[in-house]
Chains A and B, each alone.
Chain A
Amino acid sequence: MKVFVCIKQVPDTETKIKIKGDASGIDTAGVKWVMNPYDEFAVEEALKLKEAGKATNVTVISVGPKARIVETLRTALAMGADDAIAVDAPEDLDPSTTAKALAATIKAEGDYRLVLTGKLAIDDNAASVSQMLAEHLGVPHSTAVTKLEVSDSSAVSEREIEGGAREVMQLAVPAVIAANKGLNMPRYASLPGIMKAKKKVIKELTLDGLGVSAAETRIHYQNFQMPPEKPPVKMIEGDAATQAQTLVKLLREEAKVI
């Protein structure tokens, strides 16, 4: 049975963010694009399912500017995914439209057992697409998953909830699972894997072809700003005991937070 993995390409976490002159977004010149770190856990989990005989095919899907997302799709192919689909779309597609495009792609591909995603993408941290996708597919979902067991009829997920508590959830399959850190250790692509991935044909789709239009947009990010400048740090001198006393006094009397 097929497993889909939805992956997003994001700026590397080392990126120093600069805002465009018209404040409509970030300046992407010189940005190093990588696979969203949480999506690596999703890809790894799908590959493990295949190795365990619980999936016959792992297909990765990404929605975004085709010319750049194919690189991330090739990374997933090099890790071991069987097939890849690029849905060409503008850079700033919102979660609602992205979820509809992913749902249309998956429905057109036929039967599947699971869809895996990352728990969120580290660019806008919306943490929305996974649940929206599950809704459009009409299947249950589980987010922030740190452990997964899959059988023919169900998936049992363990997920992180508030205060470090964990919840064990049983879902009928097919289901959508959003992977959290701790689920597994993503593998690196092997050299033969990279060579093989280069030769694979990436299927290319368009939003129009999927019947998803820009009218599906529900939110729009605008008027980007850098955080306000912080006043310079106040260094506290003296021996450790003096430093501790001074700090407590400042927090009480100056900052008034204690």
Chain B
Amino acid sequence: MAHVLVFTEFSQGQLKKSALELLSAARKSGLKIQAVALGSGAKNLVDVLGKEGVDDAILGDDAAFDQYNPELFTEVVSNILNDKKPTVVLASSSTLGRDLFPRVAARLNTGVVSDCTELEISGTGEVKVRRPMYAGKCSAEVAFVNSPVQIVLMRPNQLTIEPSAAVKTPAIEEIKAPVKDLKTIIKEVVKGTSAKLDLSEANIIVSGGRGMKEAANFKLLEELADVLGATVGASRAVVDAGWVPHSMQVGQTGKTVAPTLYIACGISGAIQHLAGMSGSKVIVAINKDPNAPIFQKATYGIVGDALEVVPLLTQEFKKLLQQ
């Protein structure tokens, strides 16, 4: 029987929003749903997985899974897939998902499609996906060929979450990390300075370019982002100038993003930047130059100095959200 296996990421005991999106898509197919969760506290997810309509929960409540290790995860996830033989695997196109699943697909000699933005799963387990190509300058449908397991990595914030109709009591299967010598060792994780969501998962992005004049002015964007619960991004020009790290770059040689709201502050809109963000639902552009290309992609445009407009916006949003 065709069935769907969802690889659910969680942090601090909560399923990530991306996992809820994947579970919603799995429910829509009407197929049996298996969920995998790896890491300390995975067992505590049983109830929420049941509420999300999961039939079988495969839980690796083991501290060995708290830190992602490509070698260990490839082995464990490949073994699960070999054992369960799902027709479709859904996972987030997150840093972890994008690193792990191509290797799993190679081990299983099956197909994987990353960064999908559209997904349909038929009642017989046939998958239809679409993804951006050339950083969003166009898109393509992707067909699986000779793939016993169709592995789909969905970009976060693309699927709507429909409420689950039936509460289930998942059958639980517990797994442990195998004890073996690994060729890959995680020595250290150096936390980022920001506690905010990763750009690829953010629902709102406030992005700055050369119009911010200097690195210190990015604090204006941080302040706006704090009020909105947003993540701060940047154009290539200011990354290359060393104002902010590359992890913040949006565009063809940075991150391709598609949040609900993208606020571009002092960004003129090079073709590579536009490609990386034009999939956003609503785009606000603030720029001094009325002819800047960014206005062609924008929903709302303000001709003005970002250094003057951004603090005013922060005040206005504060007023609104305090109400």
Task: Say if the beta carbon of A190 comes within 8 Å of chain B.
Answer: no
Choose the segment among B171-179, B211-219, B277-285 that binds chain A (4+ C-beta atoms closer than 8 Å): B277-285
Choose the segment among B31-39, B42-50, B244-252 that binds chain A (4+ C-beta atoms closer than 8 Å): B244-252
Please report the C-alpha to C-alpha distance between residue A129 and residue B200 in the assembled complex, in whole angstroms. 21
Q: When A168-B187, A234-B299, A235-B303 are in contact, do A218 and B70 touch as well, CB less than 8 Å?
A: no
Query: In the assembled complex, which residues on chain A have CB atoms less than 8 Å from the CB atom of B144?
Result: 218-219
Q: Closest residue to A174 on the B side, CB-wise?
A: B183
Please report the C-alpha to C-alpha distance between residue A96 and residue B135 in the assembled complex, in whole angstroms. 21
Choose the segment among A104-112, A204-212, A223-231 that binds chain B (4+ C-beta atoms closer than 8 Å): A223-231
- B216-240 contacts to A, CB under 8 A, are 228, 239
Contact A163–B106 (Cβ < 8 Å): no
Contact A17–B134 (Cβ < 8 Å): yes
> B285-307, CB under 8 A of A: which get 1 and which 0?
10000000001111111111100
Contact B320–A252 (Cβ < 8 Å): yes
Contact B99–A131 (Cβ < 8 Å): yes
- A108-127 contacts to B, CB under 8 A, are 122-127
Task: Say if the beta carbon of A255 comes within 8 Å of chain B.
Answer: yes
A178 to chain B, nearest CB (A): 9
6 smallest beta-carbon distances between A and B, as pairs: A164-B192, A218-B111, A128-B102, A244-B312, A135-B106, A132-B106
Of A15, A169, A218, the residue contacting B105 (CB under 8 A) is A218
Please report the C-alpha to C-alpha distance between residue A231 and residue B95 in the assembled complex, in whole angstroms. 33
Q: When A132-B106, A258-B228 are in contact, do A172 and B183 touch as well, CB less than 8 Å?
A: yes
Contact A164–B194 (Cβ < 8 Å): yes
Contact A218–B114 (Cβ < 8 Å): no
Residue pairs across A and B with CB atoms within 8 Å: the count is: 263
Please report the C-alpha to C-alpha distance between residue A165 and residue B138 in the assembled complex, in whole angstroms. 31
Contact A38–B253 (Cβ < 8 Å): yes
Of A131, A172, A217, A255, the residue contacting B70 (CB under 8 A) is A131
Query: In the assembled complex, which residues on chain B have CB atoms less than 8 Å from the CB atom of A163?
Result: 192, 194-198
Which A residues are closer than 8 A to B by beta carbons?
Answer: 11, 13-17, 19, 26, 37-38, 94-96, 99, 122-132, 134-136, 139-144, 146, 156, 160-172, 175, 180-182, 215, 217-227, 230-231, 233-236, 240-241, 243-245, 247-248, 250-252, 255, 257-258
Of A156, A219, A245, the residue contacting B187 (CB under 8 A) is A156
Q: When A219-B147, A235-B301, A244-B312 are in contact, do A140 and B95 touch as well, CB less than 8 Å?
A: no
Contact B106–A219 (Cβ < 8 Å): no
Q: When A123-B133, A170-B187, A172-B183 are in contact, do A245 and B105 touch as well, CB less than 8 Å?
A: no
Chain B contact patch, size range: 35 or more
Task: Say if the beta carbon of B168 comes within 8 Å of chain A.
Answer: no
Of B102, B198, B253, B320, the residue contacting A132 (CB under 8 A) is B102
- Residue pairs across A and B with Cβ atoms less than 8 A apart, 16 shown, are A15-B137, A125-B114, A127-B98, A128-B112, A141-B103, A181-B239, A218-B112, A224-B138, A225-B138, A230-B278, A233-B298, A240-B304, A244-B315, A248-B320, A257-B281, A258-B228
Query: In the assembled complex, which residues on chain B have CB atoms less than 8 Å from the CB atom of A165?
Result: 189-192
Contact B300–A160 (Cβ < 8 Å): no
Task: Say if the beta carbon of B40 comes within 8 Å of chain A.
Answer: no
Please report the C-alpha to C-alpha distance between residue A243 and residue B285 in the assembled complex, in whole angstroms. 12
Contact A11–B140 (Cβ < 8 Å): no
Contact B135–A247 (Cβ < 8 Å): no
Query: In the assembled complex, which residues on chain A have CB atoms less than 8 Å from the CB atom of B83?
Result: none
Of A131, A162, A171, A251, the residue contacting B284 (CB under 8 A) is A251
Contact A169–B185 (Cβ < 8 Å): yes
Query: In the assembled complex, which residues on chain A have CB atoms less than 8 Å from the CB atom of B320?
Result: 248, 252, 258
